[in-house]
Amino acid sequence: MSRIRPTFMRQRLQDLGGYMGAGGSGRHRTFFDSGSAAAATATTLGAKAKLALIFGGAASTFALTYYQFTTPQANGSGQVHPDSPQSPVADGESKPTGNMISYEEVKRHNTAESCWVIINGIVYDVTEFLDVHPGGRHVILKAAGTDATRLFTPIHPPNTLETFPNLIRVGAVDPETVPKLIFEPTEEEKRIAEIRANLPPPSAALNLDDIEGLAQGVLSATAWAYYSSAGDDEITRLGHPGGEVNITKAAAKEGIIQGVSNNASCSIEEIMEAKEANQHLFFQLYMNRSREASEALLQKVEKAGFSAIFLTVDAAVPGKRERDQRVKGDFAGPAVNGQDRAGNGVAQAISGYQDPDVCWDDIPWIQNITKLPLILKGIQCVEDAEKAYESGVQGIVLSNHGGRQLDFSPAPITVLRELRERRPDLLDDKNFHVFVDGGVRRGTDVLKALCLGARGVGLGRPFLYANSLWGEEGVRRAVQIMREEIVTGMQLLGVTSLDQLKPEMVKYVDRDPARIPPTPRFDPPRSIQSS
């Protein structure tokens, strides 16, 4: 039975390839200079194993062999759930100051014919944007003529407004005319606050499943539905006000690499300010329909100091994420024939800028813009892995986007096994890096992938959950759990360094036939003998 390519028909790009660092030359370049600390090979186990985790923007995390592995909530911060009721305290006069726009003027534009909203103190005319808004027109009209900041901020990355050039910036709102509001916590916020007050310390979590179970209690229904059904690399602030910055700080302390999505809830500036001097960060790119916008972003990322680009190629269009859709029905998706589509959820709301027609030709286009390494994230078959290799990229991530895109798409570890069987030369090429992202919850999962030839594995949601519970300390605890399990697994396998792991240590149970003795172990029943 032939492999179905879920995302890229018609020779479309389905995979992810890239290189990192200045070292090497020719078609395949190495990730790091040979003299760098990152290029160090595995050494004996001892107190620390040469291993690392990389996690992607709000959360793809990879365990690499060349690095040392060593909710908004109702509280005094003033940050509250976006659905909390608002009660005006004082309306005041609506006289504009200088060239500013009065709140009273904004309130007049509250229909589909003339729709204004305020976001972070700026007034936008979104009338022409209603029918193309990824979350549907209904959610905008609900906030028409008002300050939509509290609805907008928790589920949109900081640069969202820059990706939609058809938005009209009217001007700044006069703060003297904006009514002061009091925020009343919802019943959900009260429930979450009570659970948070009684959370155990991070050390109480013995495995990643423990972390997930605790996280469900402290997340809002919206955040839980999005994380569990859709979010492996976006909107970290749904779970914790610190967002991706917590992960950046934890990554530095634990010696691992973070991948930051361009859908991240923290800005590039916030993340780069939090990183340490020699800390490596990857940038996960979703291609914009506007190539000019993508070009500007790539230049910004390179200038900011990121170490590589991970181009996402398995999510050209959002998958059907029913839990996300049901819990947040306000997000309806773009209008069709003038009518809203019900319940497409947060994932749909933030993905409208993404280009559904990413193709192989985009690889040289990106490489002409930036000298950063380019990795293709989302390879789901051997054929695309081969094409990525031939296209001149330096690495791929085998991933089905956490199982949230195409139903029945193969597990990344399955594709890795097929790649080991059919093209072991790709895995053995030291200048071509193959990672696995998805389905990793135990240290033994990491070891399986390394045995089969992967350079590392990625984790997503476990770090979102850990961050939601305890912030930076939670992320560090998740890394520690994985480190402990990896070291224990290596000890029980009888290996003292990663280079001793080999394919023969893994048995593929689903495909290896059962061993049947050549002769019956017992004498057949007499009735059979007599016949």
Residues that are catalytic: 286, 314, 401
**Angle between helices 244-254 and 461-470 in degrees, nearest 10:** 100
Whether 440 and 457 have beta carbons less than 8 Å apart is answered as yes
Angle, CA 476 vertex, CA 234 and CA 311 arms, to 5°? 35
* Inter-helix orientation angle 244-254/472-493, to 10°: 40
Q: Which residues neighbour 503 within 8 Å (Cβ) at sequence distance 6 or greater?
A: 420, 451, 452, 453
C-alpha–C-alpha distance, residues 395 and 392, integer Å: 9
> Which H or E element spans position 379?
strand 374-379
- CA 285 to centroid of chain Cα atoms: 10
- Secondary structure string (H, E, C) spanning 176-190: HHCCEEEECCCHHHH
Cβ neighbours of residue 152 closer than 8 Å, sequence gap 6 or more: 119
Q: How far apart are CA 359 and CA 362, in angstroms?
A: 6
> Residue 328 and residue 323: Cα distance in Å, rounded?
9
With beta carbons less than 8 A apart as the criterion, state whether 324 and 345 touch: yes
Burial of residue 310 (CB within 10 Å: 0-12, 13-18, 19+) is: buried
Q: Nearest-5° angle of CA 261, CA 5, CA 437?
A: 35
| Residue 295 burial (CB count, 10 A) | 16
Please name the residues in contact with 390: beta carbons below 8 A apart, sequence gap of 6 or more.
none
**59 Rama sector, left if φ>0, alpha if ψ -120 to 50, beta otherwise:** left
Name the amino acid, one letter, at 126.
Answer: V
Question: For residue 389, what is the enclosing H or E element?
Answer: helix 382-390
Tell me how far apart the alpha carbons of residues 140 and 127 are, in angstroms, rounded to a whole number. 10
User: Rounded to the nearest 5 degrees, what angle is found at the Cα of 89, between the Cα atoms of 86 and 91?
Assistant: 105
**Segment (H or E) for 171:** strand 168-172
Question: Token digits for 257?
Answer: 């690499």
| 462: Cβ contacts below 8 Å, ≥ 6 apart | 59, 61, 208, 211, 212, 441, 478
**Size of the chain, expressed as the number of residues it contains:** 531
Answer yes or no: are the C-beta atoms of 30 and 23 closer than 8 Å.
yes
